[in-house]
Protein backbone atom coordinates (compact mmCIF):
# COMPACT_ATOMS: atom_id res chain seq x y z
CA UNK A 1 0.00 0.00 0.00
CA UNK A 2 1.31 3.41 -0.95
CA UNK A 3 1.10 6.40 1.39
CA UNK A 4 -1.29 9.08 0.20
CA UNK A 5 -2.83 12.28 1.51
CA UNK A 6 -6.32 10.76 1.34
CA UNK A 7 -5.24 7.73 3.35
CA UNK A 8 -3.65 10.03 5.94
CA UNK A 9 -6.78 12.15 6.45
CA UNK A 10 -8.91 8.99 6.52
CA UNK A 11 -6.79 7.68 9.39
CA UNK A 12 -7.25 10.91 11.33
CA UNK A 13 -10.97 10.83 10.60
CA UNK A 14 -11.31 7.25 11.88
CA UNK A 15 -9.45 8.14 15.07
CA UNK A 16 -11.74 11.15 15.56
CA UNK A 17 -14.83 8.97 15.03
CA UNK A 18 -13.52 6.58 17.69
CA UNK A 19 -12.98 9.54 20.04
CA UNK A 20 -16.52 10.76 19.40
CA UNK A 21 -17.89 7.35 20.35
CA UNK A 22 -19.19 6.78 16.83
CA UNK A 23 -17.25 3.53 16.36
CA UNK A 24 -16.48 0.59 18.61
CA UNK A 25 -12.93 0.40 19.86
CA UNK A 26 -11.27 -2.50 18.00
CA UNK A 27 -9.88 -4.04 21.21
CA UNK A 28 -12.54 -3.34 23.86
CA UNK A 29 -15.49 -3.48 21.46
CA UNK A 30 -17.02 -0.56 23.37
CA UNK A 31 -18.06 2.86 22.14
CA UNK A 32 -16.25 5.39 24.31
CA UNK A 33 -16.09 9.13 23.83
CA UNK A 34 -13.20 11.48 24.54
CA UNK A 35 -14.22 14.90 23.27
CA UNK A 36 -10.90 16.51 24.17
CA UNK A 37 -9.06 14.07 21.91
CA UNK A 38 -11.68 14.41 19.17
CA UNK A 39 -11.29 18.22 19.28
CA UNK A 40 -7.50 17.87 19.01
CA UNK A 41 -7.88 15.70 15.91
CA UNK A 42 -10.36 18.13 14.31
CA UNK A 43 -8.00 21.02 15.09
CA UNK A 44 -5.15 19.03 13.53
CA UNK A 45 -7.17 18.52 10.34
CA UNK A 46 -8.03 22.24 10.30
CA UNK A 47 -4.34 23.15 10.66
CA UNK A 48 -3.50 20.72 7.86
CA UNK A 49 -6.19 22.34 5.70
CA UNK A 50 -4.70 25.81 6.27
CA UNK A 51 -1.12 24.69 5.69
CA UNK A 52 -1.91 22.83 2.47
CA UNK A 53 -4.22 25.46 0.94
CA UNK A 54 -3.63 25.80 -2.82
CA UNK A 55 -1.32 22.79 -2.74
CA UNK A 56 -3.84 19.93 -2.97
CA UNK A 57 -5.51 18.30 -5.93
CA UNK A 58 -9.21 18.99 -6.38
CA UNK A 59 -10.08 15.52 -5.06
CA UNK A 60 -7.84 15.93 -2.00
CA UNK A 61 -9.32 19.36 -1.23
CA UNK A 62 -12.87 18.02 -1.53
CA UNK A 63 -12.09 15.03 0.67
CA UNK A 64 -10.54 17.19 3.37
CA UNK A 65 -13.44 19.66 3.28
CA UNK A 66 -15.93 16.80 3.51
CA UNK A 67 -14.13 15.15 6.44
CA UNK A 68 -13.88 18.44 8.32
CA UNK A 69 -17.54 19.29 7.79
CA UNK A 70 -18.69 15.84 8.87
CA UNK A 71 -16.50 15.74 11.99
CA UNK A 72 -17.48 19.27 13.04
CA UNK A 73 -21.18 18.45 12.76
CA UNK A 74 -20.78 15.20 14.69
CA UNK A 75 -18.72 16.96 17.37
CA UNK A 76 -21.31 19.71 17.87
CA UNK A 77 -24.10 17.14 18.00
CA UNK A 78 -22.32 14.94 20.55
CA UNK A 79 -21.26 17.85 22.76
CA UNK A 80 -24.77 19.31 22.75
CA UNK A 81 -26.11 15.88 23.81
CA UNK A 82 -23.67 15.87 26.71
CA UNK A 83 -22.54 12.40 25.69
CA UNK A 84 -18.95 12.55 27.04
CA UNK A 85 -18.45 9.44 29.12
Residue 20 burial (10 A CB sphere; 0-12, 13-18, 19+): buried
pLDDT tens for each residue of 46-59 = 999 999 999 999 99
67 within domain boundaries: yes
22 within domain boundaries: yes
Domain count, the chain: 1
Give residue 12's pLDDT: 98
Enumerate residue ranges in the chain where pLDDT < 70: 1, 83-85
Beta carbons of 33 and 85 less than 8 angstroms apart: yes
Give residue 3's pLDDT: 80
85 within domain boundaries: no
Beta carbons of 56 and 65 less than 8 angstroms apart: no
> Nearest Cα to 37, choosing from 20, 14, 13?
20
Give residue 84's pLDDT: 52
Give residue 82's pLDDT: 75
Which domain, by its residues, includes 24? 5-80
48 within domain boundaries: yes
60 within domain boundaries: yes
Amino acid sequence: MEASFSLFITGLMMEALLSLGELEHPVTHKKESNFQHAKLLIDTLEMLHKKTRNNLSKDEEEALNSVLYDLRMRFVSKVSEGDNK
